[in-house]
Amino acid sequence: MARAAYYWCLGVFAFLGCCELAFRCLPVSTATETGYYTDPLIVTYPPRHQWTVSTGWDLRNPQKLVANNFGYAAHRDFVRSENAVALIGDSYVEASMLDFADRPGQQLELALKIRPVFTMGVPGTSLLDYAERIRYASQQFGIKDFVVVMERFDVLQALCGSGNINGPCLDPKSFARSQTEARPPPNLAKRIFRNSQFAQYLMGQLKVSPNAIWRQILAQLPSRETDKPIDKTIAENKADFYRLGNTISAVDAVGQAFFERVKPFVGGRLVIVLDCDRAALYSGQPASTPERQHFIKLATLAGAKVIDAAPLLEHQWANSKLKFDVGPYDGHLNSLAVGILIRAGAQAIEVQ
C-alpha cells in the first residue's frame, strides 16, 4: 500500500512538473506583482517590471509588456513636462490585449503630433481612483491637460464594495465619503502560485477559483446549520451591487466627489471619453441610460469636455456594421473604437 501511494504521488508530481515545463514555453499571463510603489493611493506595477498577458484557454492576443520608470504600462518614461497630456483610466487605457500601435496612449500621441502622452492606466480601478492619478500627475509632472477614458460602470464602481477600488470610495448607502479601500497584499498561496505558469494558466486563463471550489464542496456537505446562508459568488455579489447602486443619487454623489477632488489639479483641459452600452447599440436599442446622461450633465457643468461614445459609434455602426469589441470573449474597445474615440479626444484637447 505504501509503495502504491509513493508511486501515485511520484506520478502526480511528474505530471505537474511536465505541465509546468510545457506552459513555460507558452504565452501564459504571468504575475504582475502590483502594489503601492509610488503613492499610497495609487496601484502600479514595479518599475521596469516585465510580464505577459493573453486571453482565454487558447491564449489569444498574447502580448509582452514592460512597466516604465513609474510602473505604468506606457510607451515612454515619465519626466516633468507641462506640455505633456496625461491619459488616465483602467484596463481600457492600458489596453494590454491590443497591439502596441493600437493602444490609446500611442494613438493619442500620434493624433496630438507634438505633445507627449503619459499613459496612466491601472486595471480594476474606478472614477475616484482616476482623481488620485490626476492629482499625482499634476504634482509630480506638472501636467495641466488630462484625458480620462471611462467605461460604463466607472461611476458606480467608485462605491465601496464594488471590487474595483484601490483608494477612496463612497458608502453605497449614504454616499458619504468612506475610508480608503486599499488592495490587500498577496497571501502566501498567491505568492507561491505567482511563480508557477501552470497555476497562472488555471487561475488566470481558465478562471479556476479555489475559493469557489471550496464553497461548492461545503454546499454539498450535510450540515445541521441548515438556516445558515451560503456565501454568494463574486458574480452574484456584483449583480446585487449594481441593482442597489444604479441610481441618479449615486451618480450625483460620485460625480461631485470626483470633480471637487480634481478641480485644484486641472490647470488646462479635462476631456472625458465616455463609453456606451455597445450591446444595446448592436441591437438597435438606446446606448445610454438616464444615469449616464446625468453624469454627462454634471461633467459639462464642472467644465469638462465630454466625448460621448454613443453618437460616434452609432454613426460608425450604421455605415459599416463592424463591432467595437476585442471579441465575444473580451468586451474591451478594439482598435477601431479606440481610434474613433481617441481622435475625438485629441481634437478636444487641441481646442483653445
Q: In the chain, what percentage of residues exceed pLDDT 90?
A: 65
Scanning the chain, the segments in alpha helix (DSSP H) are: 2-23, 91-94, 104-112, 127-141, 188-193, 197-200, 210-220, 234-245, 248-262, 278-282, 290-301, 309-320, 335-350
**For residue range 269-328, what is the model confidence (pLDDT) as tens digits?**
999 999 999 999 999 999 999 999 999 999 999 999 999 999 999 999 999 999 999 999
Rounded CA separation 308/274 (Å): 5
The pLDDT value given to residue 67 = 97
Measured CA distances, 91 to 29, 123, 125 (Å): 15, 4, 8
**For residue range 147-179, what is the model confidence (pLDDT) as tens digits?**
999 999 999 999 999 999 999 999 988 888 777
Helix 335-350 vs helix 309-320: crossing angle, to nearest 10: 130
Q: How confident is the model at residue 98 (pLDDT cuts 50, 70, 90)?
A: very high
The pLDDT value given to residue 25 = 87
The pLDDT value given to residue 226 = 41
Rounded CA separation 181/168 (Å): 6
Q: How confident is the model at residue 241 (pLDDT cuts 50, 70, 90)?
A: very low
Asked whether the beta carbons of 166 and 182 are under 8 A apart, the reply is yes
pLDDT above 60 for 229: no
Q: Is pTM beyond 0.75 here?
A: yes
First-last CA distance in the chain: 82
Average pLDDT in the 97-124 region? 96
Q: Is 262 helix (H, G, I), strand (E, B) or coil?
A: helix
- Chain mean pLDDT for the chain: 88
Domain map of the chain by residue range?
27-350
Asked whether the beta carbons of 127 and 158 are under 8 A apart, the reply is yes
The pLDDT value given to residue 225 = 46
The pLDDT value given to residue 231 = 44
Strand pairing class (325-327; 305-308): unpaired
CATH class entry, domain 27-350: alpha beta
- The 10 Å Cβ neighbour count of residue 81 is 13
Average pLDDT in the 35-59 region? 94
Among 82-91, 108-117, 227-236, 267-276, where is mean pLDDT lowest? Answer: 227-236
Which residues are CB-contacts of 326 (< 8 A; sequence separation ≥ 6)?
A: 55, 61, 97, 98, 332, 333, 334
Q: How confident is the model at residue 46 (pLDDT cuts 50, 70, 90)?
A: very high
- The 10 Å Cβ neighbour count of residue 344 is 17
User: Residue 295: which region, alpha, beta or left (left: phi > 0; alpha: psi -120 to 50)?
Assistant: alpha
Average pLDDT in the 16-38 region? 88
Average pLDDT in the 134-152 region? 97
The pLDDT value given to residue 285 = 94
The pLDDT value given to residue 214 = 61
Q: What is the DSSP string of 113-161?
A: SSS-EEEEE-TT--HHHHHHHHHHHHHHH---EEEEEE-TTTTGGGBTT
Taking the mean position of all CA atoms in its chain, how far away is CA 189?
24
Asked whether the beta carbons of 117 and 108 are under 8 A apart, the reply is yes
Rounded CA separation 307/146 (Å): 13
pLDDT above 50 for 113: yes
pLDDT above 90 for 243: no
The pLDDT value given to residue 15 = 84
The pLDDT value given to residue 323 = 96
Q: How confident is the model at residue 107 (pLDDT cuts 50, 70, 90)?
A: very high
